Amino acid sequence: MQTRETDVIVIGAGAVGENVADRTVQGGLETVIVEAELVGGECSYWACMPSKALLRSAAVLREARAVDGAKQAVTGELDVAGVLRRRDAMTHDWNDSSQVEWLQGAGIDLVRGHARLSGEREVTVTAEDGTTTVITARHAVVVATGSAALLPHVPGLAELEPWTSREATSAHEVPRRLIVIGGGVVGVEMATAYAGFGSEVTVLARGGLLGGLEAFAADAVEAGLRELGATVRTGVDVVAARRDGADKIIELGDGSTVAADEVLVATGRVPHTADLGLERVGLEPGAWLDVDDTLRVRGVDWLYGVGDVNHRALLTHQGKYQARAAGDVIAARAQGRPVDDAPWGVHVATADHSAVPQVVFAHPEVAAVGHTEKTARDAGLAVRVIDYDLAWVAGASTQSDDYQGASRAIVDEDRGLLVGVTLVGPAVGELLHAATIAIVGEVPIDRLWHAVPPYPTVSEVWLRWLESFGRPTT
């Protein structure tokens, strides 16, 4: 057994852990990061990056096919082998050496192995060869261990050895028939990707698709999946699973069955906290970490929970945002500097509550930030809903001969502020950040009249929203 001491220990070298460590090092604190698998975590190897690589080529083809003059040049079909090759390049063939190099350049010390809390500010790391290192932190321990796919308790399902998001994003063969259980973002994106590859895809969702987003966006995505040839069954319950020869069979509550060559389970996430020694510090193993706005675990003043593991917003960019706040506040507290923890201060992740941007890379793409109509009404705001068909914007007609899109802006009339935006259409993810800035900056609607969107771009929807809302009079 080896022992060592450092200022800060970060458990988990996913995107979030890397960013916390970067900030604590920049804040002058010696930092050790512990990683059990690949430096870079889920996002780089089994989530954001490979999933977007699997989706992009078919989206480009669809866009080209929607523009006269370009569509004539598209004479072939999607080259699935090429898509998988591009995905492999994007994941560096699941080799993390470039990220390890980045850690070294940033002055972050990497220890490989499985970390468990073993005492106050103490972490024991077990390496693959069984050797252990006990590390003590002078200031803080940060848990950035992320989340894993949830496998629901359905009789027979585990025996099918179904895919989770990991297998779906790293597959080297495309199943002829694929069942996707779950209608959330992961289920929808992977159904879109595999339908694009030519798989016969059946989506089975207990509720509707994309719960939490505006219903019109979810409806557009459902119609898009059908257009790609997928079968979408909403309001169905998966009650059992079994094999029949080579077929994997899913039994539904209404007595019907669906057969496929592969089953993807995308029914949610569980925190990576079951085998972390949480019980040693009085916390419940397997639970999401409950943190305050400085990302400090409630009740343990030296422990922080950042990224997926705190369940505030399971998105890489939001976790990295939290990481910047957490890393900086750890350094401030260690050095006795003032903590800026008022809303929108340097040391808090205020945007988690009101301005989380998200893009669903489906067909069509959906981009949303802030409130939906429902959450705004539930929050008791004086809601004004402005709907505008994106296809009516001049810029849309230059983009595509058959532009299909939709948009909704939510205004809090009492404060004269934009509080939510949802966009549906090709590449709308690239339009979203303006809305995030307007919401976070609380830019008054009256001032937005002076933010002129260029003509002819799809951004002109901003002008249409303002016109619908009404121009201020003197």
Ligand X SMILES: Cc1cc2nc3c(=O)[nH]c(=O)nc-3n(C[C@H](O)[C@H](O)[C@H](O)COP(=O)(O)OP(=O)(O)OC[C@H]3O[C@@H](n4cnc5c(N)ncnc54)[C@H](O)[C@@H]3O)c2cc1C
What phi-psi label fits residue 226: left (phi over 0), alpha (psi between -120 and 50 degrees) or beta?
alpha
- By CB under 6 A, the residues from 271 to 300 that bind ligand X are 272, 276
Strand partners of residue 174? none
> In whole angstroms, how close is the CB of 274 to ligand X at the nearest point?
9
Q: Check binding of 232 to ligand X (CB under 6 A).
A: no
Q: In angstroms, give the least distance from the CB of 49 to ligand X.
A: 8
Residue 15 near ligand X by CB under 6 A? yes
Radius of gyration of the chain (CA): 24
Q: Should residue 184 be labelled a site residue for ligand X when binding is judged by CB under 6 A?
A: no
Q: Which residues, listed in sequence order, are joined to residue 304 by a DSSP beta bridge? A: 142, 296
Q: Which of 114, 311, 324, 377 binds ligand X (CB under 6 A)?
A: 114
Dist CA 15 CA 366 (whole Å):
23
Nearest to ligand X of 311, 384 (CB atom): 311
Smallest CA-to-CA distance from 285 within 125, 116, 128, 37 is with 116
CB 6 within 8 Å of CB 32: yes
Asked if residue 146 binds ligand X (CB under 6 A), the reply is yes
Residue 165 is a binding residue for ligand X (CB under 6 A): yes
Structure tokens at 252: 């539904």
- Verify binding: residue 429, ligand X, rule CB under 6 A: no
Q: Does 111 bind ligand X (CB under 6 A)?
A: no
Site string for ligand X, 71-110 (x = CB under 6 A): ----------------------------------------
Which DSSP letter does residue 239 get? E
If one asks whether residue 124 binds ligand X (CB under 6 A), the answer comes out as: no
Q: How far apart are CA 30 and CA 50, in angstroms?
A: 33
Output the smallest distance, CB 40 to ligand X, in A: 7
Identity of residue 82: G
> Which x/- pattern over 35-74 shows residues binding ligand X (rule: CB under 6 A)?
xxx---xxx---xx--xx----------------------
287 secondary structure, DSSP code: S
Among 57, 91, 202, 316, the residue binding ligand X under the rule CB under 6 A is 316
Please tell me whether residue 307 binds ligand X under the rule CB under 6 A. yes
Cβ of residue 82: shortest distance to ligand X, in angstroms? 21
Please identify which residue in 8, 9, 10, 11 interacts with ligand X, judged by CB under 6 A: 11
Q: What are the DSSP calls for 72-107, one per residue?
A: GG--S---HHHHHHHHHHHTGGG--HHHHHHHHHTT
268 vs 395, beta carbon nearer ligand X: 268
Q: Which of 9, 16, 157, 204 touches ligand X (CB under 6 A)?
A: 16
What is the maximal distance between C-alpha atoms in the chain?
76
Neighbour-count burial of 254, counting CB atoms closer than 10 A to its CB (0-12 exposed, 13-18 middle, 19+ buried): exposed
Per-residue CA distances from 76 to 73, 225, 282, 306 (Å): 9, 21, 60, 45
Q: Where are the alpha helices (DSSP H) in 91-172?
A: 97-105, 165-170
Considering beta carbons, is residue 13 or 80 the nearer one to ligand X? 13
Candidate segments 29-37, 102-110, 243-251, 411-419, binder of ligand X by CB under 6 A? 29-37
* Token pair in block for residue 245: 């020869």
Smallest CA-to-CA distance from 332 within 121, 31, 27, 30 is with 27
123 touching ligand X, by CB under 6 A: no
Q: Which is nearer to ligand X, 272 or 464 (CB)?
A: 272
The stretch among 14-22, 86-94, 196-204, 381-389 that binds ligand X (CB under 6 A) is 14-22
> Applying CB under 6 A, which part among 77-85, 96-104, 312-320, 431-439 lies near ligand X?
312-320
Exposure of 384 by Cβ count < 10 A (0-12 exposed, 13-18 middle, 19+ buried)?
middle
What is the contact surface with ligand X in residues (CB under 6 A)? 11-17, 34-37, 41-43, 47-48, 51-52, 114-115, 144-146, 165, 169, 186, 272, 276, 307-308, 314-317, 319
